[in-house]
A = this chain, B = another copy of it.
Amino acid sequence: MRLACVFSSAAKSQNPIKTLFRRHRSLAVSALPIMADSEESLRRALSEKQAAVDAQAEAVRALKARPASAPSEIDAAVEALKALKVEAAAAARLLQAAVSRNGDGSTAGSREAFRQAVVNTLERRLFYIPSFKIYRGVAGLYDYGPPGCAVKSNVLAFWRQHFVLEENMLEVDCPCVTPEIVLKASGHVDKFTDLMVKDEKTGTCYRADHLLKDYCKEKLEKDLTLSAEKAAELKHILAVLDDLSADEVGAKIKEYGIAAPDTKNPLSDPYPFNLMFQTSIGPSGLSPGYMRPETAQGIFVNFKDLYYYNGNKLPFAAAQIGQAFRNEISPRQGLLRVREFTLAEIEHFVDPEDKTHPKFVDVSNLEFLMFPRKEQMAGESAKPMILGEAISKGTVNNETLGYFIGRVYLFLACLGIDKDRLRFRQHLPNEMAHYAADCWDAEIECSYGWIECVGIADRSAYDLRAHSEKSGVALVAHEKFSESREVEKLVIVPSKKELGLAFKGNQKMVVEALETMSEKEALKMRASLESKGEVDFHVCTLGKAVVITKNMVSISIEKKKEHQRVFTPSVIEPSFGIGRIIYCLFEHSFYTRPSKSEDEQLNVFRFPPLVAPIKCTVFPLIKTQKFDDVAKIIARSLTAAGISHIIDITGTSIGKRYARTDEIGVPFAITVDSTNSVTIRERDSKEQIRVSIDEVAKVVKEVTDGQSTWADIMWRYPAHAASLVDEE
């Protein structure tokens, strides 16, 4: 693999911590590890032009210094220099455009302007609010205001319906406060860290990888004199950023002379900072605890009870929705990297020998953007693939993993995520934990780039094994055989007497090491003992090799009758970052359109009714008691039908009232313009129909519940031609 040559990637690839939502910092780059040809050739062209300019300038100077030079000769050389400078400037402009352009041709500037428009609307309409704003807030903490909170609870309700109800999952609800031992077992206490550096004078903390990343990106974008070789080096660092050890990051920070961004003071060496919020459980101060960094552990520790609850049958899935906490060193990117967030996680437990899925046929014909490892390594881009083919070709490891990829695709599409800006990206080998069978991320493209929003991983038996070992409680499944089977079993019997004589106080450690050999090791030892009579044997707990002779251990294969198979199930884990999905949904749903008077742009969120924070508004056309009364009757019928709505009886123009609610994505507006029938207006088409007052709640319910589309409804009820006055 081309990327692994410069830095050792051993340090992190054994890290058991799931990398979900901790990794997207370098995704956009690692997904495109090779410098685009055009950019490389532009850099070479620019440096050639620059060299030509320098040479010509030198020539001009030399001509001028020589008394014999003819003025016409000098003029010609100066003209040539000017022409070369124009060429160099043009090459610089081309390169500048290339480095600041995205895949879709948009520039960083246009993306930021778009984001600003969305974020302004979101903040002004209270979709979200920086938490504790009156106290000047806390970085990385946000409140959902009324429309944001409603969108979130709609997304979660749909998640429950689409996953939990559809698959009869066992949903659980575990506390956030978690004792240390649980997170020791999962590996979070030791390894859930980011590298931190401190300003040596002020003590301000920074994420070391962020500083290195910012340096590289800025150089690449702004320093046009960078050689193609140097540019390749910086791009490579961006690609392998997550694999760098503390020493490697520290060395690069020193080499590039990176200083504290705010003060330009020197920085400390990088050191790991644990990202969990620590606390203490109970009054003694002796029981350390943490706020959970993910919800999954609550499911793993309950495996035994849940398996029993499911009638001791596999496969089954457990699910949990809840808060998770990560004490980020320096949160940025608004709602995308926060210190507290809602996760929705599924742990689907399955027999490792049978990962087929009976409902895979339901999703096998789906076609969407997939970005397998091979295409990433080759510098290609994501392509539409048919899911069934991705399984049959072995691109996706197994059917159950594939089934969830398909279900996640359907979930995101139903919410209103743009299918063209959604791709499933397979983890590269250096991103994946050593035990994982296969991992795919649902990535959504927004103004920050491709953002990892759902991780779908086959984590094999890792998590259950870790908790079995730490707790001493076997987290296993049983397969009862209808008839008992004869199986071959490895039997290792160390001779304690001989070992005691040979190793004295170390006897116990040697015995343990012998007993825990894998089948392969044991058979190799048996072969050596038979051929040579003795063998060198490395004992980890002693830190050295000892010599084992034939009389010290008996290794044999015995045939046994077994009535059941006992095994640790594999787990397939789809894990959803709800806040990230919602933020991307905000960007994908946002558009502007000119007002009738064309003096301003009106903002609209085109949320599908399923996620719209409020389904419907009720407006009396003009301020009069009889219309207000009708509006109240309609509001009551909407409440009875369980449809969230707002009623606006201010005298403001109807056009302004439409604009106000388009801006929070309300799909339908009921306007009361008579005492027996009303109009219903659809947000995006602005089409209107006329419906009787008795029917209006039923019609709105039908179309917000998804039983009918707006097109169906349009066909059944008379259209109402909106007067020009309606939409100012």
State the A residues within 8 Å of B (CB).
126, 129, 131-135, 138-139, 141-146, 148-150, 152-153, 157, 160-161, 165-166, 168, 170-179, 181-182, 196, 203-205, 273, 277-284, 287, 289, 291, 298, 301-302, 304-306, 309, 311, 323, 325, 327, 329, 339-340, 467, 470-471, 473, 475, 639, 642, 644, 646, 650
Contact = CB atoms under 8 A, between A and B. Distances in A.
A176 B323 contact: yes
Contacts of A150: 171
Contacts of A287: 138
B143 A174 contact: yes
B132 A179 contact: yes
Given A273-B283, A284-B205, A339-B281, A301 B145 contact: no
Most interface-central of A166, A174, A289 (chain B CB within 10 A): A174
Contact of A144 (B129, B135, B173, B203): B173
Given A301-B133, A304-B134, A283 B145 contact: no
Given A467-B134, A646-B168, A283 B329 contact: yes
B135 A149 contact: no
B473 A134 contact: yes
Given A143-B174, A179-B138, A205 B133 contact: no
Nearest to A166: B639
A139 B282 contact: yes
Contacts of A203: 284
Nearest to A468: B134
A270 to B, nearest CB: 12
Contacts of A204: 284
Rank and list the top 4 A-B pairs by shortest CB-CB distance, nearest first: A144-B173, A134-B471, A146-B170, A134-B473
Given A160-B153, A644-B165, A205 B282 contact: yes
A329 B280 CA distance: 12
A143 B305 CA distance: 12
Contact of A301 (B132, B291, B323): B132
B172 A143 contact: yes
A176 B340 contact: yes
A249 to B, nearest CB: 16
A426 to B, nearest CB: 31
A302 B131 CA distance: 8
A329 B148 CA distance: 37
A132 B182 contact: yes
Contacts of A278: 279-280
Nearest to A648: B311
B141 A177 contact: yes
A131 B196 contact: no
8 contacts: A126-B306, A129-B305, A132-B181, A152-B173, A165-B639, A175-B339, A176-B291, A323-B323
A457 B333 CA distance: 40
Contact of A309 (B145, B305, B340): B145
Contacts of A161: 642
A172 B146 contact: yes
A177 B280 contact: no
A338 to B, nearest CB: 8
A204 B281 CA distance: 14
A215 B323 CA distance: 40
B471 A181 contact: no
B175 A281 contact: no
A279 B306 CA distance: 32
A34 B329 CA distance: 58
A301 B134 contact: yes
A302 B323 CA distance: 21
Contacts of A639: 165-166
A272 to B, nearest CB: 11
Contacts of A176: 176, 291, 323, 325, 340
Contacts of A304: 134
Most interface-central of A157, A177, A329 (chain B CB within 10 A): A177
A173 B160 contact: no
A125 to B, nearest CB: 8
A100 to B, nearest CB: 32
Contacts of A473: 134
A309 B143 CA distance: 15
Contacts of A281: 138, 277, 327, 339
B283 A126 contact: no
Contacts of A134: 301, 304, 467, 471, 473, 475
Contacts of A302: 129, 133, 143, 145
Contacts of A133: 301-302, 305
Nearest to A320: B149
A133 B277 CA distance: 22
A595 B471 CA distance: 40
Contacts of A153: 160, 171
A136 B133 CA distance: 41
Given A205-B282, A280-B278, A339-B281, A135 B179 contact: yes
Contacts of A470: 135
Contacts of A644: 165
Given A282-B205, A305-B126, A311-B650, A173 B148 contact: yes
Contacts of A139: 282
B305 A291 contact: no
A177 B273 CA distance: 19
A215 to B, nearest CB: 20
Given A132-B301, A166-B639, A291-B291, A283 B177 contact: no
Given A134-B304, A173-B143, A273-B283, A309 B126 contact: yes
Given A135-B181, A302-B129, A642-B165, A143 B277 contact: no
Contact of A325 (B141, B144, B177): B177
Contacts of A157: 157
Given A145-B309, A165-B642, A172-B143, A277 B129 contact: no
